């Protein structure tokens, strides 16, 4: 939650942005991006290793695994994993790979069971990942140790009822990684938020193309002249960079006078020029 002082400071910054007629003093002259960053398989492999394998990734919502024993598959970032609402109430993530010969533990997108059983040879795990059942035990060595053959965990933490995973076992905790956003977002009440629907789209483009379209409002007057543009004052848009790669965009509504113009069909950006 932003306090009143911070809100006043941000509003003043918005006005300053609205008046600005040139880049701020000392703003660096940035080089053009090499186009290969959007096409190179080698660069994409680096991004997978250094971004997606080391960041906290949004994976799901508790409404998708609402009760103890519920589980869901998730495979949006390479290795397939299973996210489990444990019988003890804890939410955990595991590689969806049996410790016997690597078959998938769960094969449907969602399910519910007090035990996770691999379909290949029926090795059976508790919902906390512990291996508890191995058929034909007489064929295994006497000192065969089940305790070191549990499902391999993936880091999994919650922001309220929203589930995040991280493939980096040494990653900092989710709250620390989010930094100031953790408190700023408290007004969204993530501990009470419910899942109304979930939609997935496959886009035929580099992932940054989709992300970058949501990181600026430069395009708004030209791509959305009759929908978003009348609602957003692009000239007073404010971006703040936070640690760990986070950023905050504040896209204010037009001034009252601009809003009145918008009602008459004149976009704010046009009225301001």
Given a contact cutoff of 8 angstroms between Cβ atoms, the answer to whether 165 and 57 are in contact is yes
Which of 10, 52, 60 is CA-nearest to residue 184?
A: 10
Binding residues for ligand FES, rule: CB under 6 A, are 98, 100-101, 103, 118, 120-123
Which of 112, 111, 153, 118 is CA-nearest to residue 132?
A: 118
Calpha distance 44→118 (Å, rounded): 33
User: Which is nearer to ligand FES, 136 or 202 (by Cβ)?
Assistant: 136
Q: How far is the CB of 122 from ligand FES (least distance, A)?
A: 6
Calpha distance 183→243 (Å, rounded): 14
Q: How far is the CB of 86 from ligand FES (least distance, A)?
A: 20
Calpha distance 213→218 (Å, rounded): 9
Sorted by sequence, the CB contacts under 8 Å of residue 24 that are 6+ apart come out as: none
Calpha distance 104→120 (Å, rounded): 9
For the CA atoms of 171, 173, 179, 183, the dihedral, rounded to the nearest 10 degrees, stands at 160
Q: How far is the CB of 103 from ligand FES (least distance, A)?
A: 4
Q: How far is the CB of 156 from ligand FES (least distance, A)?
A: 22
Q: How many whole angstroms from its chain centre is CA 251?
A: 21
User: Which is nearer to ligand FES, 66 or 119 (by Cβ)?
Assistant: 119
User: Which is nearer to ligand FES, 55 or 96 (by Cβ)?
Assistant: 96
User: Which is nearer to ligand FES, 102 or 243 (by Cβ)?
Assistant: 102
User: Which is nearer to ligand FES, 59 or 98 (by Cβ)?
Assistant: 98
User: Which is nearer to ligand FES, 122 or 130 (by Cβ)?
Assistant: 122
Given a contact cutoff of 8 angstroms between Cβ atoms, the answer to whether 61 and 163 are in contact is yes
Q: How far is the CB of 138 from ligand FES (least distance, A)?
A: 16
Q: How far is the CB of 150 from ligand FES (least distance, A)?
A: 13
CA torsion sign, 9 to 14 to 17 to 18?
Answer: negative
Calpha distance 48→71 (Å, rounded): 25
Q: How far is the CB of 107 from ligand FES (least distance, A)?
A: 11
User: Which is nearer to ligand FES, 118 or 220 (by Cβ)?
Assistant: 118
């Amino acid at each position: 939650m932003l306090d009143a002082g911070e809100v006043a400071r941000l509003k003043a910054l918005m006005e300053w942005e609205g008046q600005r007629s040139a880049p701020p003093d000392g703003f660096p002259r940035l080089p053009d991006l090499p186009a290969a960053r959007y096409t190179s398989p080698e660069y994409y492999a680096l991004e997978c290793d250094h971004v997606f394998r080391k960041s906290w990734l949004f994976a799901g919502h508790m409404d998708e695994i609402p009760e103890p024993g519920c589980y869901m598959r998730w495979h949006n970032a390479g290795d397939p994993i299973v996210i489990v609402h444990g019988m003890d109430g804890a939410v955990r993530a595991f590689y969806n790979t049996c410790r016997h010969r690597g078959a998938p533990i769960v094969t449907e997108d969602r399910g519910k069971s007090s035990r996770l059983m691999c379909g290949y040879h029926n090795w059976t795990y508790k919902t906390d990942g512990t291996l508890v059942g191995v058929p034909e035990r007489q064929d295994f060595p006497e000192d065969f140790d089940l305790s070191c053959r549990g499902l391999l965990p993936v880091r999994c933490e919650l922001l309220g009822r929203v589930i995040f995973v991280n493939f980096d076992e040494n990653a900092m905790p989710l709250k620390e990684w989010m930094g100031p956003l953790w408190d700023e977002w408290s007004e969204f009440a993530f501990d009470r938020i419910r899942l109304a629907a979930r939609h997935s789209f496959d886009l035929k483009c580099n992932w940054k193309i989709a992300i970058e379209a949501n990181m600026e409002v430069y395009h708004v007057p030209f791509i959305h002249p009759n929908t978003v543009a009348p609602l957003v004052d692009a000239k007073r848009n404010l971006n703040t960079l936070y640690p760990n790669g986070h950023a905050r965009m504040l896209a204010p509504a037009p001034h009252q006078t601009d809003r009145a113009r918008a009602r008459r069909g004149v976009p704010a950006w046009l009225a301001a020029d």
